[in-house]
Structures are given as C-alpha cells and as structure tokens.
Amino acid sequence: MRALADMRIYGRGAPRDAEAALSLLRRAAAAGASEAEVDLASLYLIGAPGVAENRSEAFRWMAEAGRHGNIDAMHRLGSLYLSTPDRAARDPAEGYRWLMRAALLDDYAAQENLTVLLADGAMTGAHTVIAPDLVTADMWLRLAARSPYHDNPSIRHSIESKMNSVQLDEAKRLAAEWHPRPLAEVLAMTIDPPPVAAAKRPWPPALHSPALDRFEEGGDNPEPWQRLPDFDRIDEVTAAITAIAEHCGKNGQKSCAEDCRRQLDWIVPPVRPGGLPPAELAQYLRDHPDVSPVAAMRKEAATPEEAMTHWVLCANRVGDSR
C-alpha cells in the first residue's frame, strides 16, 4: 500500500491520484503500519502534487506514529515542536516529551537533540519552559556519543567548559548507570519537563555574544547588572535595566547607558491606566519636565514579553566596545 501510494502521488507507473494515495496510506495505517503514518505526516508537512501542506495534520499523523511505537517519529516530532517555522506551533514542553521518549528508547539522534535543549533551556514568550541543566545535558551527550554520527565535540565543549569537576563526575556516573527502557514502559509514561526553579532560567534567545558572555561571567554570584530579572515583575526589570545603565556609565559606555535609560521609558507604568487626555498630558509634561514624553504617553502596563524585549535591547549594548 505504501509503495503504491508513492506511485499514485508522483505518477510513477500509474496516473497521479492524490486522494487514492492518501486513502491507501490511511488503510495501511489502520492495518498497523506506523511507517504509513509517518508517510502521511511527511506528505502534509512539505506538501506534494495534489496534497496541500497542512502542518496540523502532519503533527497529528506523526504523533499517531509515535504513540504506536515508531521511535523515528518520536524524534522527528520532538524536533518539529522545537524548530517548526510556524512560531505559533512551537511547543518546547511537547518537544521535550517526544524527544525524551525517543531518548529513553536509546535513539542517538534524540539524545543529541535533548542535549542541546537541556544545555540552552527554552522559553515561550518571556516564560521559561525548559530550565538549563548542564549535568543532564552532558549525560545525554555522552550516551549519544556512542554513535560516531552523534559525537559532537563543539556541543561537548560548549557544555563542559561551563561545568566544574563535581558536575562532570555526576554526568559520567549518570551515563554509566543509564539503561534503555522497554517500549511499553515508555509509552505508558507521563513525561513532563522538570519544574523550573527561579535560579535556573535560560537567557533570552535574543541576547547575543559578546554581551551574553559578559552576563554569563557572573556565574552563581552575579553582580546586580548581571542578574536575569523575572519578566513578570516590572519592578525587577526596571531595577535590572537601571543596574545595567549604571554599570555602563561607570565603564565609559555612554551610549549603552543612555540607551538603557530610554528603554525604561517603554516599561514604566502609565501615569493613569488608559492614558491621559491631550490637555492633561500637555499639562503633565509642563509640570514634569524631566519625564520622557514616551513614558508620559503610556496607556497600558508593559506585558512580560515587552519587558523582556526592552531588557534585551539594553543588555545587548553591554557588548559594545564604546
């Protein structure tokens, strides 16, 4: 059925008939062929002659294959949830679940992908979904490295350069004691990302080197300007941006300090919810000549996503050489 479906899709030895091909694949899937479910997912994922791209159908069929024990589908679905071009469909928690299932069944590629996810952590908007965990990431990389195709020195260096000897020993111990799980056990598991502790949050993806390097230098004892704020709390974000501005000012980075102060104007609470009418706004600015018009015209409180954006715009200036 799968072979004939491919022939009908592409017109090889028979006229093209996308509906007949899809029907064959559904029949094969109903007969227990998880590979046919992957075929359906692949067709909907990239489109084909007579088959329109349909990302939700692609995810649905890939999940069906995963639930029926197809390890490759588990790995592919986990990767899709992390990197699909459709940003609205990205779901780091669901990606973690599917990668973890495949990794527990000893899929080397999934173990490598899980390594990267745990090394960097993941955010949805301004909220942490996956906390960075270098020890567990290193454990999975050691397991993936049993395959020459997934022994990645650059990933290893990026992780282990941040670990101390105690952490390295723990990762080695965990890898040595690890063993694959039976398929039935994995399929019956409830898998969720570990709870996120306040001290275990990833840096926002938009924070780039060399600024990121400067913030990471703070390690477990950061200076006030190196602390990652809770973006749900505007007071913390305001304090963090103010600390960065002061740090830049002390180090002669005038443009960084000035830009950070401008970012504060975009997150301060409004003078009045809903904003001031034009006449009152004009009077307010006359009475408060030191207040930025941008701040005075604010109508609503900043969202966590907006707060994160303006913190990142300020934080990235730390990497400026001037």
> How many angstroms separate the Cα of 131 from the Cα of each of 96, 159, 189, 204?
11, 14, 21, 12
Whole-prediction pTM: 0.83
What gap in Å lies between CA 305 and CA 146, rounded to an integer? 40
- Note whether 100 and 68 are within 8 A (CB): no
Q: Tell me the per-residue pLDDT of 201-240, one tens digit each, with 9 for 90 and over.
A: 899 999 999 999 999 998 888 999 999 999 999 999 999 9
Q: How many CB atoms lie within 10 A of CB 311?
A: 26
Q: What is the mean pLDDT of the chain?
A: 94
Output the pLDDT for position 199: 60
Altogether, the residues listed in the chain come to a count of: 322
How is residue 219 annotated by DSSP?
T
Output the pLDDT for position 322: 55
- Note whether 60 and 81 are within 8 A (CB): no
Q: Tell me the per-residue pLDDT of 238-273, one tens digit each, with 9 for 90 and over.
A: 999 999 999 999 999 999 999 999 999 999 999 999
Q: Tell me the per-residue pLDDT of 24-60, one tens digit each, with 9 for 90 and over.
A: 999 999 999 999 999 999 999 999 999 999 999 999 9
Side-chain-side CA neighbours of 224 within 13 Å: the count stands at: 13
Long-range own/partner contacts, residues 248-254 (CB < 8 A, 24 or more apart): 248/317, 248/318, 253/317, 253/318, 253/320, 253/322, 254/322
What gap in Å lies between CA 213 and CA 236, rounded to an integer? 22
Can you say whether residue 121 is alpha, beta or left, with left for phi > 0 and alpha for psi between -120 and 50 degrees? left
- CB contact set of 203 (below 8 Å; sequence gap of 6+): 212, 215, 216, 228
Mean predicted confidence (pLDDT) in 285-291: 91
Terminal alpha carbon distance of the chain: 66
Encoded tokens for 278: 């034009």
Output the pLDDT for position 198: 60
